[in-house]
């Protein structure tokens, strides 16, 4: 039976490439900006690119904030991608303090222009980076990363990074120079990828397949 995936269209995002990636993995896709569609969805994706404030404004203008929170509390699978992942958090400091969905407790903060080793970094972080398991996070074999082997690289484009309040919500990290970056977060049925799985080739499709199997 083909799985129906609802993708939230709130005026900001890489909708076409995300849709194509899920369809390539065998899913049917419903694009929507309607609260009622979100509330009855069986599997939900929140994509996004751009500024945190613009993304949250797009959700508020369409009345999607409370439905997204209610959906996350329902126990059904939710995946945030790039900006969509960041908006899952409590707040962001991008262009001043901004409130997020507060589905995962924590903050979105800028990537520092130098790593812990003092060497300068060219922000934004753009390119392919390797996913690394975290010490405190859940096991990959029971998550959306269950189909990955060692040396899995994904495509990142971002200037801000997530700091979960609970380290157990970090499923995978990556490194930008010597700086540790939250690459995948997880809290129960809610997942977020800082990178773009839809632009990460075969590895990205394996992650999408892992999400579809939840």
Catalytic site residue 82? Answer: yes
State residue 96 phi and psi, 5-degree precision. Answer: 90, 165
Residue of 25, 82, 154, 193 marked active site = 82
Catalytic site residue 198? Answer: yes
- Report the distance separating Cα 18 and Cα 174, nearest Å: 22
Residue of 94, 158, 196, 209 marked active site = 196
Count CB-CB contacts under 10 A for residue 118. Answer: 7
Residue of 154, 169, 198, 209 marked active site = 198
Instruction: Report residue 22 as tokens.
Output: 């899920």
Nearest alpha-carbon partner for 165 in 82, 212, 114, 100: 100
Element housing 67 (H / E) = helix 65-73
- The catalytic site residues sit at 82, 196, 198
């Amino acid at each position: 039976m083909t799985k129906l995936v609802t993708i939230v269209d709130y005026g900001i995002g890489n909708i076409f490439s995300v849709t194509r990636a899920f369809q390539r993995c065998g899913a049917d896709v419903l694009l929507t900006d309607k609260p009622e569609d979100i509330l009855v969805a069986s599997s939900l994706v929140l994509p996004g690119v751009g500024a945190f404030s613009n993304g949250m404004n797009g959700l508020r203008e369409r009345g999607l904030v409370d439905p997204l929170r209610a959906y996350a509390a329902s126990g059904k699978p939710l995946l945030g991608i790039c900006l969509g992942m960041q908006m899952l958090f409590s707040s962001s400091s991008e262009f001043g303090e901004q409130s997020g969905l507060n589905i995962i407790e924590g903050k979105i903060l800028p990537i520092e222009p130098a790593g812990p080793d003092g060497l300068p970094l060219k922000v934004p972080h753009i390119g392919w980076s390797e996913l690394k398991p975290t010490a405190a996070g859940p096991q990959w074999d029971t998550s959306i990363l269950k189909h990955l082997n060692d040396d899995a690289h994904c495509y990142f484009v971002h200037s801000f990074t997530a700091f979960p309040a609970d380290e157990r919500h970090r499923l995978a990290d990556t490194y930008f120079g010597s700086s540790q970056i939250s690459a995948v977060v997880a809290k129960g049925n809610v997942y977020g990828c800082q990178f773009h799985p839809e632009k990460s080739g075969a590895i990205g499709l394996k992650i999408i397949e892992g999400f579809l199997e939840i």
